[in-house]
Structure 1
Amino acid sequence: MKRKAMYRLMATRREMLYVHDVFDHAMMLVETEGEPIEYQVGVAGEFVSRRSVTFHDRIRGTGKVSGYTITNFREGAICSSFEGHRDGTTKLTTGTWKIYKGMGKLATITGSGTFTVKQGEKEREYIMDIDGDYEL
């Protein structure tokens, strides 16, 4: 089953350390919470919450991202891992995600897809578009 969704993400915590090997090389750990802007209600019911923890390794704003997301619905949850790349010039992050665990009505779910994250209008706000294929 093909699915698309759009989420508003808010950075709730950010820790950053500079590496000091080259100018502006930093590593960050960022926690975000999200809410849907557009999504389809599925077999697990209404959206409840979304939380992700992301590791960034950037030089001048460009670099790798990877992390984990847990999305909770009224009757189940999905745990996903993701990895991608942020372009410091365009400020777009693109990558892939994959479900590694389902719970409740989503216990047997498998799936993967792609995502794009762009800066939102507010400080600490990001907009994420996801596309993917799921199977129950």
Structure 2
Amino acid sequence: MFVVFYCSKIYCSKILLYFKDVLEVYSDWQRWLFGELPMAYIARVFDVFLVEGYKVLYRVALAILKFFHKVRARQPMESDSIQQDIRAFVRDIAKSVSPERLLEKAFAIRLFSRKEIQLLQMANEKWSPQT
């Protein structure tokens, strides 16, 4: 969660203006990818993940946020929860973005190195409550 939040502050900071509860939004980002995306999109993302590694998951999450902002910024919220709006957008992403375009946008985002991402993950683990 922390890695996606930190990257979104850098790569799509405008989206943060819509979030009242950042923790609520970013705690669910894996669900966007594997629970809400249509199967054709999941297959493409997973295929690239197997070749490229975990950085692609962060890129796709950021690309989803960018497309969400672009499409929904001009529209009123559909529900009381930004998290529900993001989920609805991801479920219906085929109406606005093809799988190819999603991956193009994702790979246009130049993330940190794997080492920097690992450091962010370690910082997240250090500060996360133990279960």
Q: Tell whether the structures are fold-level matches, with TM greater than 0.5.
A: no
TM-score, normalising length: structure 2: 0.29
Q: Which has the larger helix fraction?
A: 2
